Structure 1
Amino acid sequence: MIHVAGDFDPSLDFLTAPALAGLSAKLGSIPGLAEAEARLICRRAAEALEETLRLKVNRVLLLELNAARISGRLTAETPQLRWQEWKATAERPEFWPSLTEHYPTMPSRLGALIDNRCAAAVELAHRFATDRTALTALPGGLRGELACVDFGTGDSHRGGHSVAVLHGSQGKVVYKPRSLAVDEALARLIDRLAPRLPAGSSIRVPGVLIRQGYGWAEHIQHRYCADEAELRSFYRGVGHWLALMRLIGGSDLHMENLIAAGPAPVVVDCETLFTPHVPAKPSGYGDAVDRATDLLSGSVLRTGLLPGRGVSLAWRGVDMSAAGGLPGQQPYTQMPVVVDAGTDMARLGMERVELGAVRNHPSPDPILVHYWDLVLSGFTELVEHLDLLDRRDELAGLLTDFADRPIRVVLRATEAYAELARMLWHPAALHDEPAATGRAAGLLAQHAENLPGAPSDPEVIDAEVAELLVGDIPFFATTPARGRLDGPGGTSYGDEQDLIADALRRWRDRDAALDREVIRSALVSAYLNEGWMPANKRMTAPLIRHQDLDRRRRRIAAGIARTVLDTAVRGDDGTVTWIAPVLTSDGWFVQALSPDVYGGAYGVAITLAAYVSETGQGRADEVPGLDGLLADLLHTIRLAEERDAEARRTGPRRRPATPGGYVGIGSQIWTWLLLRRLGTVGSAEAVARAGALAGQLPEAVAADGVYDLLTGMAGAIVPLLRLSEQTGDQRWSTQAHRIGECLLSLAHIDDRGARWPSTAFPQGLGGVSHGATGIAWALARLADSATAGAADFRTLAASAFLYEESLYDPAEKGWRDLREMDDRRVTSSAWCHGAAGIGLVAADRLAREGDPRWADVLRRAAASSWSKGIGWNHTLCHGDLGNWEVVRHAIDAGVGPGELTPEYLAAYMIGSMDEHGPVSGLSRDAFSPGLMPGVGGMLYQLLRLHPGTSLPSILLPDPDNQCGWPHTR
């Protein structure tokens, strides 16, 4: 969609006037439609049509305006007057025909689009006039004269047809140009199931009026819950929906398909039931990854109800799920906009926009973490009842009603079609349509190679492209009894199959434990941060016992190691992975582990290597099979690196990986160097693989838009410096120097200091992971090692540290978290955005510089970490074992909180894990083997609690980190 800032509205009357005159005449002749109603429908259809047309032709008009300007055809004195001059030209009768030479197929395509939309409006009017008396039977149904029509409330399909909302003098109804028989069957199924649950269920679908090939639905009014009881009922109902959609193969249940009507989560568009399951295609990353992908694609995650982030270009990082899409937890997106409109300099630009509010939430500020246990319990409750019905041979009979009712199957994401449609309406595509359609067909064929179930048949692909050429989204339909799909242009696709029998088979064969774990884990995808979510309460402080500390430490560590071993997904080819919440540059996803240190495979490799190493030194108990697991994981990592290298050499150009020190190439580099230090891999392999990865950094840095330590270019600096030290190759230190120069040019500096604005956080941030302290640390390390430019890097680092200091709030005794711009009192004590990370950098600088100001920063950071950061969970990123490290540094530096000793601190940590078990910050019960957000980091820190260990800290991306306890220096 292209938004217009200002005046850019040349008349389209030449295009629409004949068709609208015909539309008016046809509407005026419909029996049962009042004259005022006919005029209303015509006017509203014309408005919707004009909006659609402008989205198609704006780029052509901008190009023609620019051509007129640069060719000298516009002679008025000012840009505004030249715009008016061109606009007058564009409104002459000969203007549009004159474009045919440059855009030969545009008239016919626009004509087809206009005719289709007008015909669809006439059909809607006929159907309304025929059915208007019956519409009063729907709850809140339309009564009296037609007062308004909202056309185009969804995508258009099959000849310009789309959903519309009709308003009467009283009431509203929703017109749907498809069969609503499946909606009726689903309502009947709910009516049969809900009374059998102990407390019933609040779930429902709109009431419907079924007609041949179309229907009318109750308009659901969004309402927030009135009290806590209604909120609990709503979230329990979300769990019921998850269970029911798991059974009947529901999919595509995004945020616009569910409306919160008080305590009732109402699914308003339930056409995508009994979705066929197509096994994942081999990825080249190993059997384990493919198996994990297939397990997830057949799990409750496929419903679309659970939080999850988008990956397509326009919606990257956006949570479109029915249960997610939280206010304040969506990224800003870039939308096309006409800039300098109203002048002859008008052109297409991009505008940063915030997604608007939706109607899927039962409260204005939903706190999912407070109610997620109800989602899980609601899911479990209905699943157990459905299993009981199946054991009684009653379940299959409940589904037979769906057999012959039309359903829709979404084979490609609507966003993918929308991207192609934008390409096909580009001026270049309108100038040479055969070349453009060939490219589009090629892209769809390539898409089919990568996406299970997407059509690869050239005839079907050509029909899909034909639909896009006239402004429609391709539509595939079938019935559960038939299975073979009816596609665009009269095509068919796929094999005939009994989709009800397939859904029942998948229900009976499901991995019930995986479904429950996916529900627990998916909660984190609703949040933008590194995974910490507000818990209901802190864990109780443990009883401090100094007895048998090492035995208890070993027992807890071995227990975690066995859990990591037992939860692995293994492949027949010796590969291994885990299914867990994974942080990427686009947000959180439940998937096979990603290739990084933060929560991915590289971080797990570090943990396993450390455990094997410590076992060999007698400081950890042996866990049978763990060394084999490490070998399999390294094999998987090697395979992935080689697969990616081959794809870069021979495949199409890819989006570059991020360069970051925890998520990205920088993290992979320092993993290999640390594995070398631990003796897990040989020196030759470690530096060779690190060097190959470093060779990818220039492209990654060029594409970087966040700059930070976690995912951005700053995170690659120290790994590059260490690689240069270990190899003697100055290429890598030179590359680190270039990154430093980039950061110099990107910094925003004022009297408060230096910070690095990004699209997501234009104000800049503090802290280690995304903010000023992390970038300053990397620059300070660069200054320590550099010859040329050292003074500039040191000055900029000092300025960034100054900015961080400006965020310290003496009253709150902590550093402000600028993600919470609405509340200036919010401070953070976590590693990622607060005191723990700031304190660790202070400890590192204190060890290197000896400047007492760093001791003061460390003192304040440790005090904040101990008083505010302890007791929420045990993770490194935002929990006890990240805060433990900064407090321990402060104790060693003589600036620790109160009378704390290393022994007391160790007893506290071990006691807490004894009492509560390992608690993740993701959603407490969710499992992750990851280093920073999961049990992997807890295990690593438990190993470091032994006084004889030489394991380095991994809370700064430095494989040769010497900022350890006195015995490790």
Structure 2
Amino acid sequence: MADQAAADFEPALDRLIEPALSGLADGLAAESGLGVYEQRAVLDGAREALTAALLRKVNRLLLLELNAARVTGRLTAADSAGRWAEWLAGTRRPGFWASLDGDYPALARRLRAVIDNRCAAALALARAFAADRAVLAGLPGVGPGDLVEVEFGAGDSHHGGRTVALLRTASGRVVFKPRSVAVDQRLGDLLEVVLAGRSQADRIRVPEVVACDGYGWAEHVGHRYCADDAELSAFYRNIGHWLAVMRLVGGSDLHAENVIAAGPVPVVVDCETLFTPHAKAVPSGRGLANDRAAERVADSVLRTGLLPGRGQALGWRGVDSSAVGALPGQQPAISMPVIIGAGTDEARLGYQMVPAPAAGNHPSPDPVLSRYWSRVVAGFTELTEHLRELDRRGSLAEPLNAFADCPIRVVVRNTETYMELGRMLWHPASLHAESPAVAQAADLMAKHAANACAAPGDAAVIQAEIAELLDGDVPVFGTTPREGRLTGPRGTAFGPVRNLVQAALDRWRTADLELDRQVIQGTLVSAYLNEGWLPDAKPMIASRVTVDRLDQRRRQAAAKLMHGVRDSAIRAEDGSVTWIAPVLNQTGWSLQPLSNDIYAGISGVAVLIAAYLFETEHDRADAVSGLDSLLDDVLRTLRAIEDQDHRQRAQASMALRPDAPGGYVGLGSRIWAWLLLRRLGITESEDGEVLRRAAALAAQLPAAIADDGNFDLFRGMAGAVVPLLRLAEHSGHTQGSDLALAVGDRLTAAAIVDDRGARWGNQQFPDGIGGTAHGATGVGWALARLAAAGAPTGDLAEAAFAFEETLYSAKLAGWIDLRDGEHTAAAWCHGAGGIGVTAADLMTPDDLRSRDILRRAAAATWADGLGWNHTLCHGDFGVWEVMDRALTAGVAPQGVDRAALDAQVLSGLEEFGAVSGLARDAFAPGLLSGVGGVAYQLLRMHPECPLPSVLVPDPGEASPL
């Protein structure tokens, strides 16, 4: 995405670029195949693109020079706007840019490279158009006619300022690609074989192309929304077809801008990254099981880039750039540079949150993926089976071998990495002292290569990459599938010689297609910022509820789930273990090996297995073989993850970003997981390992809290309060309680308090929202528990509950969910479920208000919370928790008793099987969002079970269970 901080400096570039543009005009005039107006179209497009490219490079330097002129008194106009105009006029005088050579000795050379390269690329495009215009008329949507407009810069620049360009003629549009399009032709030929006999109108395709020497032309594909449900269904089936084809040919990097929705047909408009070499994962230090699971995921259908996933790179954290995802309303805002005080002599660089860019990849204005996701899975399955049959017949070899000599691109470092390095290398400090900046960039790239399996670590290759960045280009690596060895910038090369077609075919033939289907199903959750936001499937209410043999059925259902947890584990000979499942981390949902949090991670699985063994020992659960050794491996893995994190932080050359402090995702969750494991009988070593590990996690909290912009219970600092208080109680030391008090001070200072009560804003909802996981009730609960420990936070807790009460609608009989502001929610995370559980936790015998809240919450969850899935977070077993509390307090809805409650959830579980959220068919062992929580609640159904609820982040008192 282009920086947003440039436009006001455009006049400053006039003297810099006009000589080069004049030369370009002369070159265009000498081209006999271009008319005068066509020359003007190329020149205007080049000027616009060159100006934008240069401003992204020099806006920080110009701001620095403006500030220097202001503070040294060189500007004498009467007001700030006048001084700005005075300074800007100075930049247009002869000698301005030359005057910067002393302070920025690298500037002139590097600017000249950018300018000359861009102008040369524009002239080359114009000559290509003039030479090829007759043949271009045959491409769909072009036709005859003069060139009217050229839009350069559709994508990054490579190889000396060359970019994709969009050309408009008098009769249509055409796309210029500054690379060979032979791979596009061969992919089109492969589709003809694979989809023979299918209608051309609604099957997957690539644009028609014209191949030339080192470049090509492509049909411009216009975006069109689907007309009806039938077209939408066909579109998502076709996505499944693309997944099958790209799985075969090793396709990657198919992000949102590379796919255009043309009605029911998703058209892949950039397919240069086929036959991507397989790279073995770098050891993580988290155990062999984690590394193998990560490698399996990375080599699955997920690598295509088509499926939803959240970015990890700085500036793009949480952004879903996939071709199927990137949903409107489900993207975080992105921090982009802007000029603050533009038009004054006090202008400075700042940052502004802007929406993530939209593309033409969606078939409807507001896609409801969950409604059509089964079509994606079905499309992948049906075409994969057809491909298998073609392979058995020997019909794939010829169209695949036809790719052997096609130039392809291999992405060894993602664009975001290059963007950040480019910004650093074009910083004024780097322009002033280029050599230290280059050395720093080389060091960062070498470290990146040590942790990114595909990235080159060879010093010569890295220096060539840096040389490209200094010239304003993004480095490109390529090869042919027959050769395999990568060629890079400035004539460099690295990697082994290998037949990439055969390698891709071998991997496809041995692929775990069941894992691929699970990956497709599991990635659905990554498209949404909050799982369960759009429950679109039909409710799963039991058609027949039976109350007989409840305890026997409870035990059988729990044991069945634990068999699933055991059997789905990925284990390794070093004693490590993990699962591949949807995981919620700081950037959103992703399909990966489990993290170490309690919500959906391995800490929660440890608690689950320990709890099941505890209940088995007390004859309240049926024995499941192998759980003892599985728990040992889970704990060994949990220790390895924590130890590796500690090593990385200790060895880092600069401070690493702290983990979140939250009570479900973050440090707080890991603290109370260890404390609950201690209560469940996990034996302390001589050095008091459990408490030592909990204390070590707590020691990271001050930095996490200082860095945290979230205040909620889930990821934010409020979630650490009760785990810290319990740590103090378990350990007898004040470290935990002192930190909890400090969190209380931060929450007090950050509160938004008015006549409605108190709440806490965040990036997505700056005015705050209600609910337990992310809203006022959760923070209020933490403050109330802190007040019970003696802190002066009771009034603020009451104010938080008062705000939540303003959201209650008597008409709708529930609490309004401010995410859309129109509907109530019944789930634990955002609705009545969590509100009821926290009220019950705080309720004292004479607390009539909490009792009334629990009564209303139980009624709301019983009416609206059943049937979406079975999870604790937003499903039937979260409803069970509220109803259990309401029955104990005597405020359950009329006609509901404990047998009816247990029978309802058990019957639904038996009829539909355990279903976890949007990823309905993906097995997820997580405690809050997966089937692990279902098993945990089944244990708690026994009337003598002492296990604490996990719907408040509280492991309980220091005594053993």
State the TM-score, normalizing by the size of structure 1. 0.97
Q: Is the 8 A contact 1:69 1:344 kept in 2?
A: yes
Q: Is the 8 A contact 1:718 1:781 kept in 2?
A: yes
One of 898, 901, 920 as aligned partner of 1:902: 898
Q: Is the 8 A contact 2:25 2:39 kept in 1?
A: yes
Q: Is the 8 A contact 2:554 2:938 kept in 1?
A: yes
Q: Is the 8 A contact 1:201 1:240 kept in 2?
A: no
Q: Which amino acid aligns with 1:728?
A: G
String of CA shifts for 1:877-929, please: whole Å, max 9, x gaps: 00010111111211221211112111210111111111111111132112100
Q: Is the 8 A contact 2:783 2:797 kept in 1?
A: yes
Q: Which amino acid aligns with 1:933?
A: S
**Equivalent residue number for residue 681 of structure 2:** 679
**Equivalent residue number for residue 875 of structure 1:** 871
Task: Specify whether residues 174 and 429 from structure 1 end up closer, same or farther in structure 2 by C-alpha distance, changes over 3 A only.
Answer: same
2:748 matched to 1:751?
no
For residue 453 of structure 1, report the CA deviation from its aligned partner: 1.6
Task: Specify whether residues 687 and 106 from structure 1 end up closer, same or farther in structure 2 by C-alpha distance, changes over 3 A only.
Answer: same
Distance in 1, matches of 2:944 and 2:632, equals 26
Q: What secondary structure does 1:621 align onto?
A: coil
Q: Is the 8 A contact 2:5 2:349 kept in 1?
A: no
2:594 matched to 1:593?
yes
Distance in 1, matches of 2:533 and 2:611, equals 25
**Equivalent residue number for residue 506 of structure 2:** 505
Distance in 1, matches of 2:511 and 2:938, equals 36
2:776 matched to 1:772?
yes
Q: Which amino acid aligns with 2:738?
A: T
Worse-superposed segment, 3-12 or 747-756: 3-12
**Equivalent residue number for residue 669 of structure 1:** 671
Distance in 1, matches of 2:114 and 2:424, equals 17
Worse-superposed segment, 7-16 or 700-709: 7-16
2:304 matched to 1:308?
no
Following superposition of structure 1 onto structure 2, how do residues 549-588 of structure 1 map, counting pairs within 5 Å?
549-588=550-589
Worse-superposed segment, 377-386 or 38-47: 38-47
Q: What secondary structure does 1:144 align onto?
A: coil
String of CA shifts for 1:384-439, please: whole Å, max 9, x gaps: 01111222232223311111111111111011001100111100010000111111
Q: What secondary structure does 1:830 align onto?
A: coil
**Equivalent residue number for residue 832 of structure 1:** 829
Following superposition of structure 1 onto structure 2, how do residues 276-675 of structure 1 map, counting pairs within 5 Å?
276-531=277-532, 533-652=534-653, 653-675=655-677
Distance in 1, matches of 2:162 and 2:603, equals 50
Q: Which amino acid aligns with 1:445?
A: A
Distance in 2, matches of 1:646 and 1:208, equals 52
Distance in 1, matches of 2:9 and 2:761, equals 32
Q: Which amino acid aligns with 1:699?
A: A
For residue 2 of structure 1, report the CA deviation from its aligned partner: 3.0
Q: What secondary structure does 2:101 align onto?
A: helix
Q: What secondary structure does 1:11 align onto?
A: helix
**Equivalent residue number for residue 99 of structure 2:** 98
For residue 77 of structure 1, report the CA deviation from its aligned partner: 2.3
Structure 1: unaligned runs, 5 residues or longer:
963-967
**Equivalent residue number for residue 810 of structure 1:** 810
Q: Which amino acid aligns with 1:667?
A: S
Q: What secondary structure does 1:940 align onto?
A: helix
Task: Specify whether residues 533 and 558 from structure 1 end up closer, same or farther in structure 2 by C-alpha distance, changes over 3 A only.
Answer: farther
2:915 matched to 1:924?
no
Q: Is the 8 A contact 2:774 2:830 kept in 1?
A: yes
Q: Is the 8 A contact 1:530 1:832 kept in 2?
A: no
String of CA shifts for 1:595-619, please: whole Å, max 9, x gaps: 1000000001111110010000001
Q: What secondary structure does 1:143 align onto?
A: coil
Q: Is the 8 A contact 1:835 1:861 kept in 2?
A: yes
Q: Which amino acid aligns with 1:66?
A: N
Q: Is the 8 A contact 1:409 1:477 kept in 2?
A: yes
Sequence identity percentage: 56
Q: What secondary structure does 2:625 align onto?
A: coil
For residue 624 of structure 1, report the CA deviation from its aligned partner: 0.5
2:944 matched to 1:935?
no
For residue 275 of structure 1, report the CA deviation from its aligned partner: 0.2
Distance in 2, matches of 1:921 and 1:175, equals 44
Worse-superposed segment, 755-764 or 669-678: 755-764
Distance in 1, matches of 2:241 and 2:67, equals 56
Q: Is the 8 A contact 2:843 2:851 kept in 1?
A: yes
Task: Specify whether residues 895 and 519 from structure 1 end up closer, same or farther in structure 2 by C-alpha distance, changes over 3 A only.
Answer: same
Q: What secondary structure does 1:212 align onto?
A: coil
Task: Specify whether residues 9 and 442 from structure 1 end up closer, same or farther in structure 2 by C-alpha distance, changes over 3 A only.
Answer: same
Q: Which amino acid aligns with 2:58?
A: V
One of 697, 700, 704 as aligned partner of 1:696: 700
Q: Is the 8 A contact 1:396 1:504 kept in 2?
A: no
Q: Which amino acid aligns with 1:883?
A: V
**Equivalent residue number for residue 122 of structure 2:** 121
Q: Is the 8 A contact 2:186 2:399 kept in 1?
A: no
**Equivalent residue number for residue 714 of structure 1:** 718
Q: Which amino acid aligns with 1:716?
A: A
Q: What secondary structure does 1:351 align onto?
A: strand
Q: Which amino acid aligns with 1:101?
A: G
**Equivalent residue number for residue 726 of structure 1:** 730
String of CA shifts for 1:501-549, please: whole Å, max 9, x gaps: 1001101111111101000000100000045541321013342222111
Distance in 2, matches of 1:759 and 1:920, equals 27
Q: Which amino acid aligns with 1:435?
A: P
String of CA shifts for 1:308-334, please: whole Å, max 9, x gaps: 000001111000000100111001111
Distance in 2, matches of 1:338 and 1:456, equals 37
String of CA shifts for 1:368-393, please: whole Å, max 9, x gaps: 00000000000000110111122223
Distance in 2, matches of 1:676 and 1:907, equals 33
Distance in 2, matches of 1:948 and 1:558, equals 18
2:789 matched to 1:760?
no
Q: Which amino acid aligns with 1:687?
A: L
For residue 185 of structure 1, report the CA deviation from its aligned partner: 0.4
Task: Specify whether residues 711 and 757 from structure 1 end up closer, same or farther in structure 2 by C-alpha distance, changes over 3 A only.
Answer: same
Q: Which amino acid aligns with 2:773?
A: S
Q: Which amino acid aligns with 1:338?
A: I
String of CA shifts for 1:918-950, please: whole Å, max 9, x gaps: 111132112100001101000000000011111
Q: What secondary structure does 2:762 align onto?
A: coil
Q: Is the 8 A contact 2:456 2:462 kept in 1?
A: yes
Distance in 2, matches of 1:268 and 1:629, equals 47
Q: Which amino acid aligns with 1:722?
A: R
Q: Which amino acid aligns with 1:950?
A: P
Following superposition of structure 1 onto structure 2, how do residues 222-237 of structure 1 map, counting pairs within 5 Å?
222-237=223-238
String of CA shifts for 1:820-842, please: whole Å, max 9, x gaps: 2xxx3211100000000001111
Q: What secondary structure does 1:642 align onto?
A: helix
For residue 585 of structure 1, report the CA deviation from its aligned partner: 1.5
For residue 196 of structure 1, report the CA deviation from its aligned partner: 5.4
**Equivalent residue number for residue 858 of structure 2:** 862
For residue 348 of structure 1, report the CA deviation from its aligned partner: 0.4
Distance in 2, matches of 1:196 and 1:577, equals 44
2:801 matched to 1:801?
yes
Worse-superposed segment, 45-54 or 217-226: 45-54
String of CA shifts for 1:755-814, please: whole Å, max 9, x gaps: 11111221211111111110110011001102xxx33x1111111111111111222111
Distance in 1, matches of 2:351 and 2:778, equals 30
Task: Specify whether residues 877 and 961 from structure 1 end up closer, same or farther in structure 2 by C-alpha distance, changes over 3 A only.
Answer: farther
For residue 127 of structure 1, report the CA deviation from its aligned partner: 0.3
String of CA shifts for 1:19-50, please: whole Å, max 9, x gaps: 11100000011011001111121122111111
Distance in 1, matches of 2:544 and 2:200, equals 40
For residue 142 of structure 1, report the CA deviation from its aligned partner: 4.4
Distance in 2, matches of 1:198 and 1:609, equals 56
Distance in 1, matches of 2:363 and 2:625, equals 49
Distance in 2, matches of 1:932 and 1:533, equals 18
**Equivalent residue number for residue 705 of structure 1:** 709
